[in-house]
């Protein structure tokens, strides 16, 4: 079966396996016509809060809704600056802008591709001034307050959170975790707290249940997790047009509710998530073993000892990513690029005035990263073929020098 095509992601097999369960969920929803809110949403929220070791969960319409509503509920206002990284999906910065704030960036760590705490510290020390009276930090050039940080747990791996929490405490910043790619990821906190789960460490966190995520709906869905009761309450208001009771609008809100049917599907899938995440880790380990020896022409994902990644993606780096992707495509192997253009250089943000060279680590990574097939059902045989095609392609790509 040398020519079998291998998809980057197989979403069909898993859903066919759950068909029976999903039909029962649909029947329940049809019997009660409970399509918006109600017990299916509440039950999922309880289960997901527990899974994330977080006190509260508020289901919303998407990961983008989750980020936007969490930022607004955390008190981010028009004119604020919110700091994140350039190598994330645009939803991270869309949510910041749509909350009224201006996104700004700090560069990432070379090996984990996540926010470099040293760069965040440098940004605050070199570009900002601490106002003792207001207990706030202001961006020197624009005079705007920097009020929040959005660390992005990328590819299934958490950001090095301890130093970021220390910096946030020092500068009075809110932390909203972008956990859209990190359902169940773990971080060992040396602040005496041991292993912590994504979504439990910041002021609040945002999850996406876009179908391809580790926990994916059969449509659009998202959730906010938080340990702050007031923040959860505000998110509940905001997702439902600011209503505290029917037609009693305490604030102007949004239509950002989680569908009951999606909540039902998600709750059923959540019961499998631990096993699926373990399967992803086993696949990543197998890739690592099979690729041992290719170091030099291929950079493998790095998992520090404080991290337990859930491998939403298995991302390698190759000097000639374009050629490698082309060869794999010709061999029938699906790949992805997450993400080809760092956000500070994307057209939508031309107005922010960034230039090539501003965030060199993120820029270099963007030009070399390649995501290989990764999903729990990926078989050993399929993996062996992916690896053999990658190695064959690398051997044929001439003079693979790291730029
Ligand atoms: C890092 C990151 N942030 C935010 C989002 C937005 O989530 P959604 O597509 O559910 O709005 C995604 C999902 O694609 C993501 O990967």
Q: Is 91 in the pocket of ligand 1 (CB under 6 A)?
A: yes
* Number of neighbours of residue 324 by Cβ within 10 angstroms: 24
- How far is ligand 1, taken at its centre, from the CA of residue 157, in Å? 15
Residue of 61, 113, 177, 181 with the most ligand 1 atoms within 8 Å of its CB, for mutation: 181
Is any ligand 1 atom within 6 A of the Cβ of residue 92? yes
Q: Contact at 8 Å (CB) between 333 and 6?
A: yes
In angstroms, what is the span from residue 140 Cα to ligand 1's centroid? 31
Question: Distance from the CA of 336 to the center of ligand 1, in angstroms?
Answer: 16
Mutation pick for ligand 1 pocket among 63, 82, 185, 207 (CB with most ligand atoms within 8 Å): 63
Round the CA-based radius of gyration of the chain to a whole number and report it: 22
Contact 146, 131 (CB under 8 A): no
Matching residue, tokens 């509260």: 56
Helix (H, G, I), strand (E, B) or coil at 145: strand
Q: Is 88 in the pocket of ligand 1 (CB under 6 A)?
A: yes
Q: Are residues 384 and 330 in contact, defined by beta-carbon separation less than 8 angstroms?
A: no
**Of the candidates 321, 309, 305, the residue with the CA atom closest to the CA atom of residue 284:** 309
Distance of alpha carbon 60 from alpha carbon 272, whole angstroms: 21
**DSSP letters for 71-126:** HHHTT--TT-EEEE-SSS-THHHHHHHHTT-EEEE--B-TTT-SB-HHHHHHHHHH
Identify the burial level of 360 via C-beta atoms within 10 angstroms of its C-beta, where 0-12 means exposed, 13-18 middle and 19 or more buried: exposed
Q: Is the CB of 64 under 6 A from ligand 1?
A: yes
Paired strand residues for 146: 81, 137
Distance 7 CA to ligand 1 centre (A): 21
pLDDT value at position 1? 47
Ligand 1 and 210: CB distance under 6 A: yes
Say which residues have a Cβ less than 8 Å from residue 268's Cβ, sequence separation at least 6: 18, 21, 22, 25
Beta strand 145-149 pairing with 174-178? parallel
Q: Shortest CA distance to 385 belongs to which of 318, 326, 328?
A: 328
- Parallel, antiparallel or unpaired: strands 136-139 and 128-131: antiparallel
Q: List the one residue out of 97, 166, 154 whose CA is nearest residue 362.
A: 154
Task: Give 347: exposed, middle or buried? Use CB within 10 Å, 0-12, 13-18, 19+.
Answer: exposed
Please give the pLDDT value at position 398: 60
Two structure tokens written together for 23: 């039909």
Q: Which two tokens stand for residue 122?
A: 């440098």
End-to-end CA distance of the chain: 36
Nearest of 183, 143, 164 to residue 84 by alpha carbon:
164
The DSSP-derived string for 360-393 is HHHHHHHHHEEEEP--TT--HHHHHHHHHHHHHH
Within 13 A of 265's CA, how many CA atoms are on the CB side? 26
Tell me the C-alpha distance between 100 and 98, whole Å: 5
How far is Cα 388 from Cα 394, in angstroms, rounded to an integer? Answer: 10
Pocket test for ligand 1, best of 69, 70, 90, 91 (most atoms within 8 A of CB): 91
Q: Which two tokens stand for residue 398?
A: 């001439």
Q: What is the Å distance from ligand 1's center to 213 Cα?
A: 9
Nearest of 318, 314, 319 to residue 382 by alpha carbon = 314
Please list the rounded mean pLDDT of every run of 10 residues in the chain (403 residues).
Answer: 84 95 96 94 98 98 98 98 98 98 98 98 98 97 98 98 98 98 98 94 98 98 98 98 96 97 98 98 98 90 98 96 96 98 98 97 98 98 97 78 56
User: Are 147 and 75 contacting, i.e. CB atoms less than 8 angstroms apart?
Assistant: yes
pLDDT at 3: 72
Closest CA to ligand 1's atom 7: 63
Expressed in angstroms and rounded, the spacing between residue 262 Cα and the centre of ligand 1 is: 17
User: Given this model, what pLDDT does residue 296 score?
Assistant: 82
- Does the C-beta of 208 come closer than 6 Å to ligand 1? yes
pLDDT for 276 equals 98
Q: How far apart are CA 53 and CA 74, in angstroms?
A: 20
DSSP letter (8 states) at residue 233: H
User: Does residue 221 contact residue 59 with C-beta atoms inside 8 Å?
Assistant: yes
CA dist 102 and 114 (Å) reads 20
Say how many Å lie between the CA of residue 97 and the centre of ligand 1. 15
Does 291 sit in the ligand 1 pocket, CB within 6 Å?
no
CA of 135 to the centre of ligand 1 (A): 32
The pLDDT score that the predictor gives to residue 293 is 85
Q: Is the CB of 225 under 6 A from ligand 1?
A: no
């Amino acid at each position: 079966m040398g020519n079998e095509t291998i998809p980057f992601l197989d979403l069909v097999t898993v859903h066919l396996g759950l068909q029976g369960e999903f039909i029962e969920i649909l029947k329940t929803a049809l019997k009660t016509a409970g399509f918006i809110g109600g017990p299916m949403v509440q039950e999922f929220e309880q289960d997901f809060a527990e899974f994330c070791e977080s006190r509260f969960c508020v289901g919303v319409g998407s990961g983008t809704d989750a980020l936007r509503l969490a930022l607004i509920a955390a008190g981010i206002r028009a004119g604020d600056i919110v700091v994140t990284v350039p190598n994330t999906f645009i939803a991270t910065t869309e949510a910041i802008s749509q909350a009224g704030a201006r996104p700004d960036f700090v560069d990432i760590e070379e090996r984990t591709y996540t926010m470099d705490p040293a760069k965040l510290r440098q940004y605050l020390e070199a570009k900002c001034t601490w106002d003792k009276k207001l207990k706030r930090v202001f961006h020197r050039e624009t005079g705007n307050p920097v009020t929040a940080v959005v660390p992005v747990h990328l590819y299934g791996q958490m950001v090095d959170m301890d130093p970021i929490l220390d910096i946030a405490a020092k500068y009075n910043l809110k932390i909203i975790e972008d956990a859209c790619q990190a359902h169940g990821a773990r971080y060992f906190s040396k602040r005496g707290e041991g292993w912590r789960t994504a979504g439990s460490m910041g002021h609040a966190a945002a999850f996406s249940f876009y179908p391809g995520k580790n926990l994916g709906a059969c449509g659009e869905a998202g959730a906010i997790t938080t340990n702050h009761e007031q923040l959860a309450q505000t998110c509940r208001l905001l997702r439902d047009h600011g209503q505290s009771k029917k037609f009693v609008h305490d604030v102007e809100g949004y239509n950002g509710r989680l569908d009951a049917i999606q909540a039902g599907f998600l709750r059923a899938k959540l019961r499998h998530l631990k096993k699926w995440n373990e399967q992803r880790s086993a696949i990543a380990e197998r890739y690592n073993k099979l690729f041992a020896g290719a170091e030099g022409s291929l950079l493998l994902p790095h998992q520090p000892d404080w991290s337990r990644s859930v491998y939403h993606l298995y991302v390698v780096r190759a000097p000639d990513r374009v050629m490698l992707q082309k060869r794999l495509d010709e061999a029938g192997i699906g790949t992805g690029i997450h993400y080809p253009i760092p956000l500070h250089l994307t057209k939508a943000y031309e107005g922010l005035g960034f230039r090539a060279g501003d965030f060199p680590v993120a820029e270099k990574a963007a030009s070399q990263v390649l995501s290989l097939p990764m999903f729990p059902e990926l078989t050993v045989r399929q993996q062996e073929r992916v690896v053999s095609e990658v190695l064959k392609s690398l051997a044929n790509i001439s003079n693979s020098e790291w730029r």
